[in-house]
Structure 1
Amino acid sequence: MIGLSLLRAGRRGTLAAFALVFLVQAAPPVQIALDQSRRLASGSPVLLATATQDPRDLFRGEYSILGYEVGQPAGLPAAPDLAGARAGCDLAGGDCRLTPGTPVQVTLRPGPDGLHHAASIALAKPAGDGVVLRGTVRFGTLTRRGEGKPGACAHDLCFSGTIAYGIERWYGPQGVPANLDTLDRGRIRVRARVSQDGTAALDAILIDGRDFARTPRL
């Protein structure tokens, strides 16, 4: 009887150890999913113009790469602190390329077309009640008023380049991303939710103003 009790206790200990390992491994993705669900539930809604491409992930299936209008600004008004983000930034010499990976804060404003557009960009989050989207520079340059091609800078300081916001991929059922990519880009919109810290979550893809696909919630 003692031996049987010890065997059962050993099995319980083994099961508890496996359960603990599982919880440790599962905790990060569960936390990510919870954070995503919180953003979708409480974040400020913004409607963004987008264009799609249709690659494939061998492990996760088909997905669309979403290229946003707010992710490719040209001549966007920039705060002076952006020039200080790069050591040796020489605006006088026209050599002011920002380091890829530089974190930025992009203020969005709703337009008469119902979409949110980039209104300004800064290194630090500006004060105010507007929606501010946190992004990362992939490539970017700063120019002064009257400089830059195509189109001259119309502000004291302008940013042109590409910015990533962490909502550039949408995974869908087989064949759906490919079909989405064949649609006229004017028909496709993305509704995102932006949390207080500026982090964006992809809420839904809309076609002709109607929900086409929504991100699952926990």
Structure 2
Amino acid sequence: MIRLPSADAFTGRISPLWRGLAAILLLCGLTLALVESRARILRSGTEVRLATAPVDPRDLFRGDYVILNYKISTLDTAKLDGDKAFERNQPVFVSVAPGVDGLAEAKGVYLARPAAAAGGSVLEGRVTSIGACVTNANGDPDCSAGRRAIRVSYGLESYFVPQGTGRAIETTEHKRLEIVAAVSSSGQAAIKRLLIDGKLVHQEPPY
């Protein structure tokens, strides 16, 4: 019977220096792949304008990260197309289209990715809670109207800003704050620009 050398025997012949270099190169390669993946979304993704919604002021600003909430974060499934039964941590796809003000409005939420409507986009998200309070036209929670909504995160809920510049964002009324996200064809999204009163405050570099 032919015996193949074990992996331990093979790696034992490689000096610790070369093993260390190989590990460093592997980590660098993985990091570059992640950076390039995000940069590709920012370069070629479809731009979607997102209206923000109120967030707990105690959590709005943590260090150099702005904590964000969106109108499309809370979805009243009874008023939307698509599936109706969801579970926590379940991946979902949210179909959006620009409203009369140009800001994205949710049109449907699905367990399987639907085709994007003309002029619209599909964002991939994950259900963070079920049985949430629905929201009113301003994006404020309204529990008196029922708790049939689901909460969805899109990976857009925190945004790094230069040190010392977060105070203006922290004290800004959510109605004045707008996020422009880039959405890839697969539904992955990344924050591209942050605006207050329609004026650019921060723009994410491509790398």
In the alignment, what sits opposite 2:135?
none
Deviation digits for residues 116-141 of structure 1, max 9, x if unmatched?
11111111112343311110000124
In the alignment, what sits opposite 1:215?
204
* Uncovered stretches (5+) of structure 1, i.e. residues with no partner: 1-12, 57-61, 84-97, 143-148, 154-158
Measured in 2, the distance between the counterparts of 1:35 and 1:71 equals: 24
Q: Are 1:106 and 1:134, in contact at CA under 8 Å, matched by a contact in 2?
A: yes
Measured in 2, the distance between the counterparts of 1:28 and 1:170 equals: 22
Query: Shift of the alpha carbon at 1:55?
Result: 1.6
Deviation digits for residues 184-213 of structure 1, max 9, x if unmatched?
212110000110111111111111112211
Q: How does 1:45-56 map to 2 (within 5 A)?
A: 45-51=47-53, 53-56=60-63
1:119 aligns with 2:107: yes
Q: Are 1:63 and 1:169, in contact at CA under 8 Å, matched by a contact in 2?
A: yes
Q: How does 1:13-162 map to 2 (within 5 A)?
A: 18-51=20-53, 53-56=60-63, 62-74=64-76, 75-80=78-83, 82-83=84-85, 98-129=86-117, 130-141=120-131, 150-151=144-145, 160-162=149-151
Q: 2:162 aligns with which of 160, 168, 173?
A: 173
User: Which is greater in Rg?
Assistant: 1
Measured in 2, the distance between the counterparts of 1:179 and 1:207 equals: 9
Between the aligned residues of both structures, percent identity stands at: 30
Specify whether residues 171 and 210 from structure 1 end up closer, same or farther in structure 2 by C-alpha distance, changes over 3 A only.
Answer: same
Specify whether residues 19 and 76 from structure 1 end up closer, same or farther in structure 2 by C-alpha distance, changes over 3 A only.
Answer: farther
In the alignment, what sits opposite 1:195?
184
Query: Shift of the alpha carbon at 1:18?
Result: 4.4
Query: Shift of the alpha carbon at 1:179?
Result: 2.5
Q: Are 1:107 and 1:132, in contact at CA under 8 Å, matched by a contact in 2?
A: yes
* Structure 2 counterpart of 1:35, one-letter code: S
Measured in 1, the distance between the counterparts of 2:27 and 2:116 equals: 40
Specify whether residues 39 and 23 from structure 1 end up closer, same or farther in structure 2 by C-alpha distance, changes over 3 A only.
Answer: same
Query: What RMSD, in angstroms, separates the aligned Cα atoms of the two structures?
Result: 2.4
Measured in 1, the distance between the counterparts of 2:146 and 2:81 equals: 14
Q: Are 2:95 and 2:116, in contact at CA under 8 Å, matched by a contact in 1?
A: no
Measured in 2, the distance between the counterparts of 1:193 and 1:43 equals: 5
TM-score normalised to structure 1 length: 0.72
* Structure 2 counterpart of 1:137, one-letter code: V
Query: Shift of the alpha carbon at 1:20?
Result: 2.7
Measured in 1, the distance between the counterparts of 2:18 and 2:104 equals: 50
Query: Shift of the alpha carbon at 1:15?
Result: 6.5
Measured in 2, the distance between the counterparts of 1:76 and 1:214 equals: 34
Deviation digits for residues 16-65 of structure 1, max 9, x if unmatched?
55443221122222111100110011111000011461123xxxxx2111
Measured in 2, the distance between the counterparts of 1:170 and 1:103 equals: 22
